[in-house]
Amino acid sequence: MSEDDMVVRNIKPVPRDVQRTTKDYTEKSRLEGRVESYYHQPTVADIITPDPSNKLAFLKESERFRTDFASEYKEQKQNQRQEEERIRQIKLERQIDRENKHWEDVLQRQDKEVKSAMTHVTKKNDSGASYDPVTLEYRDTLDGDRLRFYDEGKEFRKEVRKLHLYKNINPNGYNPINGEPLQYSDMPIPDKPHPSQRLEEAQQQGRIKR
């Protein structure tokens, strides 16, 4: 190796004021100084040591922790009392609604009882019964027709029940006393009663239950 190859060529450093005059520095300065919506290239200093105050999650140390414990405790107590008051108010409103509904039902029942009693109030000193207590004849009214239909149905059921008992007690078909065959024809069943036209129309209209 020759001496020329071993010679180190030291480059004299360029001062900063000279560097600022170079084309590269001029171009970077021009790009950094652009305004409006141009993209700004971050500098080396911003990348290595960024400013924490520019971050979205930045929070001051004084605001990071709460130190006023008395105010915090007072706020918790106020929230607790407000919640208890809200629950108490809801219960009170529900109780008031139940009371109002109860008394409305009571008044409705009383009105129904009064109206029901008014329908049976006699006029001109007449009896409120559906029949004449002297002659025992049914009155020519809707209540009289209903009472007649009820009595006829009761008599019909009585005769049918009597015939069934007579047949079930003597299933062999003979009289146990005299030994003669039973005559079921001696116990005729009456015809099934039918409501009057006025009563049937009232039942169809729903004014009277069937």
What the block records as the tokens of 128 is 């409120």
Mark which of 63, 87, 107 sits at the end of a domain: 63
User: Quick check: is 68 in a domain?
Assistant: no
- pLDDT 10s digit of each residue in the chain, 210 long? 566 566 677 778 877 777 667 777 778 777 777 777 766 666 665 555 656 666 666 777 776 777 777 888 899 999 999 999 999 999 999 999 999 999 999 999 988 888 876 665 555 566 667 777 788 788 888 888 888 888 888 888 888 888 888 777 777 777 777 777 777 666 677 778 888 888 788 777 776 666
Encoded tokens for 17: 């004021």
pLDDT at 121: 52
pLDDT at res. 45: 58
Which residues lie below 8 Å from residue 69, measured CB to CB, with a gap of 6+?
A: none
Whether residue 101 lies inside any domain: the answer is: no
Does residue 59 sit within a domain? yes
Number of domains in the chain: 2
> Which pLDDT does position 130 carry in this prediction?
79
Residue type, 43: T
In a domain, 3, yes or no: no
123 assigned to some structural domain: no
Residue 129 counted as domain residue: no
What pLDDT score does 92 carry?
Answer: 94
pTM: 0.35
Domain extent, residue 19, equals 11-63
In a domain, 200, yes or no: yes
Please enumerate in sequence order all residues whose Cβ is within 8 A of that of 131, keeping only pairs 6 or more positions apart, or say none.
137, 138, 139, 144, 147
Q: Of 19, 43, 63, which one is at a domain's C-terminal end?
A: 63
Residue 145 CB coordination number (10 Å): 21
Residue 178 belongs to some domain of the structure: yes
What pLDDT sits at residue 3? 60
CA–CA distances in Å: residue 206 to residues 13, 25, 108, 146? 117, 105, 21, 14
